[in-house]
Amino acid sequence: MKKTDLRVQRTNKLIVEAFIHLVEKKGYEQVTVQDIADEAMINRATFYAHYKDKQDLYERIFDLALDSFTEILSLEDLVQGNRIKLKKVEVTMTNIFKHIHENRQFYLTILDGAAIEIIRRKLGVLLTVRYDKIFSSLRITESDIEVPLDFIIEYITSIFVGTLHWWLTAETTMAPNQLAKLVIKLVANGHLTVLGIEIED
């Protein structure tokens, strides 16, 4: 069973790497399943044993990215009650940005064009599930109108994805820890306090 699992994992890796390489080279629309199979040195039947179609593979790549985020987010207890621990957030964000930097081409591919909206939406679901307790305990009002939770999630994810896209595409030498500090400095003392979240250094 272990040998089978390893073989499946190896084939998956070949398919994903082939797809990313081809998208970089030709663009998503121009890549066919046959192209992917040829690049990965497998037959079409093997591809369809793993994925329904090219779109299914594309969606799975986003899930792989979010799996990495989830794993890193799970390492630290970032929130206690409605208090957020900035030092731990900085460590966690630095680790996320390091992971992205080490897999730069992968993230450049999945954050291209309309794909940004897909990962922003999936990241919103991840944050909602991961921090459901703190979000559900917040009641933010503006001029006596309660601010919807989905608006808050959309706002947070848009900032993160927009920052990430800039970092990957701009000609900058900003290191992962520097970017993490900058994002925290811009967001923590303004946006988070408005949301009713207490800051702990």
Q: Give the CA distances from residue 101 to residues 15, 98, 106, 169, 174, in Å, rounded to whole numbers and listed in that order.
A: 22, 5, 10, 12, 11
Give residue 91's pLDDT band: very low, low, confident or very high (50, 70, 90).
confident
- Give me the percent of the chain exceeding a pLDDT of 90: 18
- Give me the percent of the chain exceeding a pLDDT of 70: 71
Q: Give the CA distances from residue 17 to residues 97, 98, 149, in Å, rounded to whole numbers and listed in that order.
A: 21, 20, 37
pLDDT exceeds 60 at position 197: no
87 CB-near residues (< 8 Å, 6+ apart): 201
How many CA atoms does the CB half-sphere of 125 hold within 13 Å? 9
**pTM for this one?**
0.65
pLDDT digits (tens, 9 = 90+) for 150-160: 777 777 778 88
pLDDT digits (tens, 9 = 90+) for 28-60: 888 999 999 999 999 999 999 999 999 899 888
Which residue did the predictor score with more confidence, 69 or 17? 17
